[in-house]
Amino acid sequence: MGSGTSTQHHFAFQNAEKAFKAAALIQRWYRRYRARLEMRRQCTWSIFQSIEYAGQQDQVKLHNFFSYLVDHFTPSCHNERDFLNRMFAEERVPQDSEMEKCSDYESIEVPDNYTGPHLSFPLLPDHATALVEAFRLKQQLHARYVLNLLHETRKHLVQLPNINRVSTCYSEEITVCGDLHGQLDDLIFIFYKNGLPSPERAYVFNGDFVDRGKDSVEILMVLFAFMLVYPKEFHLNRGNHEDHMVNLRYGFTKEVMHKYKTHGKKILKILQDVFCWLPLATLIDEKVLILHGGVSDMTDLELLSKLDRHKIVSTLRCKTRKENEKQAEEKGRAKQTSSTGRPSPWFLPQSRSLPSSPLHLSSNNTHKAGRSSSVPCSGPLNGRELSGRGRRSVDLELERCRQQAGFPVIKEKQEPWLLTAEADSEAGELLEPTQEEWRQVVDILWSDPMAQEGCKANTFRGGGCYFGPNVTKGLLQKYNLQFLIRSHECKPEGYEFCHSRKVLTIFSASNYYEVGSNRGAYVKLGPALTPHIVQYQANKMTHTLTMRQRISRVEESALRALREKLFAHSSELLEEFKKHDKDKTGLITPSDWAAAVESVLHLGLPWRMLRPQLVNSSTDSMLEYKSWLEDLAREQLSHEGSSHWTSSGRPGSCSALI
């Protein structure tokens, strides 16, 4: 009897031992499986972000290049000068008369067969709610109502300060949302999950409402409508994509012209002005600072609160004031800057005649030197004064260039606007933003946090800076703040804490790169100012996919975007491959292939690890680069016109790259 019991215990022990070993084996296999998936996910994420930031950097470089050409163009007649003035007109502050003309919505008739939403002012909560429902049903708002809404929005924004002050005393909680980028589904999901705006439920939307997505117009209409209905509970910050120069590249301009073919130009013109009037930041209970990008070691909240934000038409290019130009001219020889104080193109070496570009600072010293000569901003000026002064500065610059080149001075009959500008000049009024003011706005809209200490130029984006934990700590101590909330960066989980949880990144556009690529998130703050994060996926399809399916789908999309970029640089790649093929065999090693691709694209990706997924043909560990480029061309041409990225303007598309 005892022997039988002992045998049973022995078998039970053996079975248990086998079960534990099997469990350990399964666990080890699963951990390795998850680790491989995570490695693929991180690699895919690196591809998307590298392509996105390279596109932004190219945008700045291209703009600087054409700005330099325009700035140094010497007109030989009045017609050429007039043409140049029209080119510069896009970067000046619009006149009030122009805004009145663009806002002439009363002359636009709404046809009887129009079935979309109707608006009447002043807006009521039901009007804003009806807009959300109409856009959910894919209805379009008539151009008359769009212009009317933009006109009322502009009147409201003009009255707001640069930094909004919000208190939790008047609301149960304040919800902060990040980038939406034209993804209406995310905005509707936020309202569905968190509740519509109301006196008890305040919202702060932290910029980048437009571009890349296909519903940017609808998002703006909803946000502006709720802001007019609840002016004390609904707040908007400006992002780096609330910029008409950025919109030209990333899809919003095209979207407006496609949806409103007749009145699209009017809508874009008034939107350009509305974007300039958006507040720069929001402060909750004087303790939590909300801004789109970040800060720098020179961020001055007092200066940001006093400058005329309406004069910052675009953060891609600074047009300094005449007085700043004089100061730069006096210090130009010592600091190797020109008398104009304009940024130099990225492709030219620094010299006495060309200043360094404000978006590509070589050192912190340069950064500080450029800010130290600033003067406080004067009060806001009307559009007529801005227009006249802006055109006069262009003519003065062109005349100076002609004199330096040795051409005779051309005396022409002065236009009426030029006489007005001279009168304004004699009055000594300052119209354009100073270099310091412009840099301050660029930093808060374009900057990103980094793990290292210090503050350095953001070379990945081409604008703003990277700021370290010490910069964050210094700013919080200086202004007695608890923490910062920013957006501007897509995060896999929709949010991310850094700098000892003193900086919180919130990104609200889920599935930003591809379905399943990332979650969206928003943060809720109560009177205790303790952040409560809410994550979501607005696309129902993501809930039906396994983790492996999601990663595979996103990985395929990233590789497709990477192949598009490789194809766009085929000529440069061929020349670089030939440099490594000294014997002209048509073959190069995988290491040479990786080095050549990186030297052309400058994306900082693990090319050797990606090679098996990008290259199909190889012989004895050697790569036939000509046949690979031919295969790449055939593949891209076969998919031309059918790519999801190209149609949506996403970061991986050829339309977003140069």
- Check: CB of residue 68 under 8 Å from CB of residue 340: no
Which tokens go with 192?
A: 């569905």
CA contacts within 13 A on the Cβ side of 650: 24
CA distances from 35 to 41, 114, 344, 513 (A): 10, 55, 46, 22
Which tokens go with 511?
A: 């599935």
CA distances from 482 to 285, 288, 289, 586 (A): 10, 6, 8, 61
Question: From CA 392, how far away is CA 386, in angstroms rounded?
Answer: 10
Identify the three-state secondary structure at position 605: coil
Nearest to 141 by CA among 203, 242, 224: 224
Question: From CA 132, how far away is CA 350, in angstroms rounded?
Answer: 52
- Tell me whether residue 241 is one of the annotated catalytic residues: yes
Question: From CA 486, how far away is CA 507, in angstroms rounded?
Answer: 9
Catalytic residue among 151, 241, 244, 310: 241
Any idea which residue has 């009017």 for tokens? Answer: 266
Phi, psi of 134 (to 5 degrees): -65, -45
Question: From CA 333, how far away is CA 162, in angstroms rounded?
Answer: 36
- Cross-sheet strand order for the sheet of 503-506: 163-166, 281-284, 288-290, 483-486, 503-506, 495-498
What stretch of H or E contains 277? helix 264-277
Phi, psi of 351 (to 5 degrees): -145, 180
Which tokens go with 341?
A: 């104080």
Nearest to 397 by CA among 64, 89, 66, 71: 71
CA distances from 463 to 57, 218, 438, 656 (A): 8, 28, 12, 17
Nearest to 491 by CA among 74, 128, 45, 165: 45
List the helix and strand counts (H, then E) for the chain: 23, 16
Identify the three-state secondary structure at position 205: strand
Question: From CA 623, how far away is CA 384, in angstroms rounded?
Answer: 63
| Strand blocks (E) in 439-562 | 448-449, 455-457, 465-467, 483-486, 495-498, 503-506, 520-525, 532-536
- Active-site residues, by number, are 241
